[in-house]
Amino acid sequence: MTALLLAVFTPLAGAGVLALTRSLGLAGWINVIVSAATFAASIALARDVAAAGEVAGMTFRVDAFNVYLLALTAFVGMTTSIFSRPYMRHVCQTGRTNARGMRLYHSMYQTFMFTMLLALSTDNLGVLWVAVEGATLATVLLVSLYRTPEAVEAAWKYFILCGVGIALALFGTVLTYFAAQSVLADPAEGLTWSALYTAAPKLEPSIMSLAFVFLLVGYGTKIGLVPMHQWLPDAHSEGPTPMSAVLSGLLLNVALYAVVRLKMLVDGSLAASASPHMAGRLLMGFGLLSFLVAGLFLHRQRDIKRMFSYSSIEHMGLMTFAFGLGGPLATFGALLHMLVHSLTKSAIFVTVGHAAHIAGTQSINNIRGLIRTQPAVGWSLLIAVAAIAGFPPFGIFTSEFLLLTATMKLQPWFTVALLLGLAVAFAGLFRHLHPMVYGPAPEGQKPVPANMIPVAVHLGLVLWLGLSIPGFLARWLDRATELITGGHLL
C-alpha cells in the first residue's frame, strides 16, 4: 500500500517542488530524480502485486491489469525526463520558451504523471474521470508552450475537443451510477469499479449500453479514435517533443485502459441481453476505422511529428479492435501491444526530437541524410520505425502476429482489411522515412548533442520482448487476460 501511495503521490509532491524551483538546471535534475523515485516506487508496488495478487484499499485497486501499465507509465516517464533535460535546455537556449515556461513545463510534467498514475491505480470511476480530465488540463498549457499561432490553435482544439469528450464521459459515468443505484446494497459504492464488476450481471442493460456509448465517445476522444481524433495530430505536432512522447506513450494507453475496464462492466451487464457483444462490436468498428483512416493519413504528411502521431492513432485503433475482438489470444496480444507500442513510440518521438534539432525543422521535406550527419540518430530512427511497422525481432511483431492469427480464427474476413491497412500504413511510413534517413546530407548540417541512451534502452526492451516474454510479465498479462476475457493461455 505504501508503495502504491508513494508511486502515485511522489509526482504530485515533485510538481509542487518544481513549481517553486527557479534554477533551470536544477529543475531538470529534480525532474529526473522525482521520476526515478516514482519508477522505483512502482517497481516496489509491482513486487507487492506479484506477491499478493492485488493491492486494494482507499479507493485504490491495483491488479494484474493495471500494475504493468503503472510500471510502464513510471518507466517511460523516467526515460522521457532523462531525455527532456538536455532537450528542453536546448529549446530554452534557442529561445522558443523562457524560464517561466520551463517552470510551467516541469511542474506540469509531474502533474501529468500524477494524473496518469492516479487514473491507472484508482478503483473509482469518478476519480478516474477527474484524473483524465486533470491530465487534459495539465497538458493543454504545455501544448501551447511555444506560443506560436499554430501551438495556440492546437492547444485550443485539444482543449475543446477533449473537454467535450470528457464531459460526455462524465454523463456516461453518471448513467452508470444511476444504473448502480437500484442494484448495489450501498448506493455510495455506485462508482467503485470492483463493486460494479461483481454486480455487473444485475445492472440494467439498456442504461449500461447508453452509458457505454457516452463513455466510449468520451474516452475514445482521448484514445484518438476516428472520427474524434482530430485534436491528436495537432497537439502532438505543436507541443514540445517530450510531451508528444508521453502523450502518445501514456495518455492514449490510459484512455484505452479506461474503456476496457468499462467494457468489462458492460459485457457483464449485457451478457444475458439480446446483443451480448454490443461493446465488442463497437470497439471493433471504431478500431478498424481508426486503423484504416490513420494509415491513409500517413501518406500526405509533411510534418514528421504529425506523421508519427497518426501512426499512434493507427496502433491505438489496432488495439481497440483487438480488445473488441475478445478472446484470450487477441486480448493477450493487445495487452502486449500496449506495452511495446508505448515503448517504441516514445523512443521514436525522442529520436524525432533530435532529428528535428539536426535539421532545424519538423518539415519532412527538409530533414535529409540523417545517417550521414549523425548515424546514431539516423539508425535509431530507421530501426525504431522498422519496429513500429511490425518487423521482428521486435515485440510489436509478436503482438501483431497474435492479433492476426486470432482474427483469422475468429473473424476471418476482417483479416483482409487488416492486411490492407498494414500495407498502406507501412508504405505511408517508409515513403517519408527513406529520404529522411538515407541519402546525402545537405550542406552544413551538423550533429547535435544527443542522449540516445533512453532510445537504446527502449528498443532493447522491445527487442527482448520480441525474442522472449519474461515469465513474470507473461503471468501478469495472462492474469489480465483472464480478468478481461475469462479465458487464459498459459
Partner 1 sequence: MSFESLPVLEQLMLAMAAMALFTSFVLLEQERLVAAIHAFAWQGALVSAVTTLVAASSGLRHLYFSALLTFALKALLIPWMLHRLSRRLELDRYAEPLRRPALVTMAAVALVIFSYWLALPIMHENLIFTRNIVAVSLAVVLIGLLMMVVRQQAVAQVLGFMSMENGLFLAAVSATGGMPLLIELGVAFDVLVAMVLFGIFFFHIRESIDSLDVDRLNRLTETEEDTR
Partner 2 sequence: MTHTGLNAAALAVALALVSSFVSLFTVWSPRLLRVAAMPLFGLAGLAALAAGLVALAQADVATAELPLGLPWLPWRVRLDALSGFFLCVIGVVSAAVGLYGPGYVRGFESGRDSLPALGGFTGLFLASMLMVTLADDAFFFMVSWEMMSLSSYFLVAFHHDIAANRRAAFMYLLMAHIGGMAILLGFGVLASFGDGLAFDAMRGAEPPFGWASAAFALSFIGFGMKAGLVPLHAWLPEAHPAAPSHISALMSGVMLKVAVYGFIRFFFDLIGQFHWQWGVAVLAVGGVSALAGVLYALMQHDLKRLLAYSSVENIGVIFIALGLAILFLSAGHATLGTVAFAAALYHALNHALFKGLLFFGAGAILHSAHESNLDQMGGLLRRMPWTGYFSLVGCLSISALPPFNGFVSEWLLFQSALQVWRLDSGVLRTLIPISAAALALTGALAAACFVKVYGVAFLGQARSRHVRRARPVPYSMRAGQGMLAVLCLALGVFPATFLGLINAVPQQILGRGLNQTLAGGWLWLTPVRPDVASYSAPLVALTLIMLAGLAVWLLGRRSVFRTRRCDAWDCGFAPPTPRMQYTATAFAQPIRRVFGLLFHIEESVENQDDGKPRHRLDISDRTWGLLYLPVARVVEGAARRISYLQSGNVRVYLGWTLVTLLALLWIVS
Grid look-up 473488441 returns 324
60, amino acid identity = F
Residue 192: how many other CB atoms lie within 10 Å: 22
Helix (H) or strand (E) holding 171: helix 149-181
- Region 336-375 residues binding partner 1, contact defined as CB under 8 A: 365
Say whether residue 57 binds partner 2 (CB under 8 A). no
According to CB under 8 A, which one of 28, 77, 134, 295 is a site residue for partner 1?
Answer: 134
Among 127, 245, 254, 484, binds partner 1 (CB under 8 A): 127
Least Å distance between CB 466 and partner 2? 8
- Other Cβ atoms less than 10 A from the Cβ of 379: the count is 15
Taking the C-alpha atoms of residue 137 and residue 133, their distance in angstroms, rounded to an integer, is 6
Q: Exactly one of 36, 43, 97, 177 binds partner 1 (CB under 8 A); which one?
A: 177
460, amino acid identity: G
Stretch near partner 2 under the rule CB under 8 A, chosen from 1-9, 23-31, 79-87, 162-170: 162-170
Stretch that binds partner 1, among 92-100, 119-127, 254-262, 465-473 (CB under 8 A): 119-127
**Does residue 299 touch partner 2 according to CB under 8 A?**
yes
Nearest-10 crossing angle of helices 64-93, 2-20: 20
* Cross-strand partners of 55: 62
Which residues 303-362 are close enough to bind partner 2 by CB under 8 A? none
| Site size for partner 2 (CB under 8 A) | 73
How many residues does this entry show for the chain? 490
Q: At what angle do helices 471-485 and 252-270 cross, to 10 degrees?
A: 40
Alpha-helix residue ranges (DSSP H) falling in 360-374 = 370-373
Place of cell 522558443: 96
**Per-residue x/- track, 288-307, partner 1 (CB under 8 A):** ---------x--x-x-----
124 lines the binding site for partner 1 (CB under 8 A): yes
Which residue, 84 or 209, is less far from partner 1 as judged by CB?
209
In angstroms, the CA 386 to CA 376 distance is: 15
Q: Of the candidates 225, 226, 251, which has an alpha carbon nearest to the alpha carbon of residue 236?
A: 251
Residue where the block lists cell 451478457: 271
In this chain, which of 105, 109, 112, 159 binds partner 1, going by CB under 8 A? 159
Q: Which is nearer to partner 2, 142 or 228 (CB)?
A: 228
Site for partner 2 in 263-282 (CB under 8 A): 278, 282
Q: 147-151 long-range contacts, Cβ below 8 Å, gap at least 24? A: 147/97, 148/238, 150/234, 150/238, 151/238, 151/239
Q: Which does 47 bind (CB under 5 to 8 A by kind): partner 2, partner 1, none?
A: none
Contact segment (CB under 8 A) with partner 1 among 37-45, 203-211, 353-361, 388-396 equals 203-211
Contact present, 305 and 451 (Cβ < 8 Å) = no
Min dist CB 344 to partner 1, Å, is: 25
Distances (CA, A) of 124 to 69, 323, 375: 17, 22, 48
Window 368 to 427, contacts with partner 2 (CB under 8 A)? 371-372, 375, 379, 386, 389-393, 397-398, 401-402, 404-405, 407-409, 412, 415, 419, 422-424, 426-427
Q: What residues pair up with 303 in beta bridges, in sequence order?
A: 363
Work out which of 30, 76, 140, 422 binds partner 1, going by CB under 8 A: 140
For residues 299 and 430, give the distance between their C-alpha atoms in angstroms, rounded to a whole number.
9
DSSP at 57? E
Residue among 234 and 314 whose Cβ is closer to partner 1 = 234
Note the residues at the interface with partner 1 (CB under 8 A): 124, 126-127, 129-130, 133-134, 137, 140-141, 144, 147-150, 152-157, 159-160, 163-164, 167-168, 170-171, 174-175, 177-178, 181-182, 187-188, 190-191, 204, 206-207, 210, 233-234, 237-238, 297, 300, 302, 365
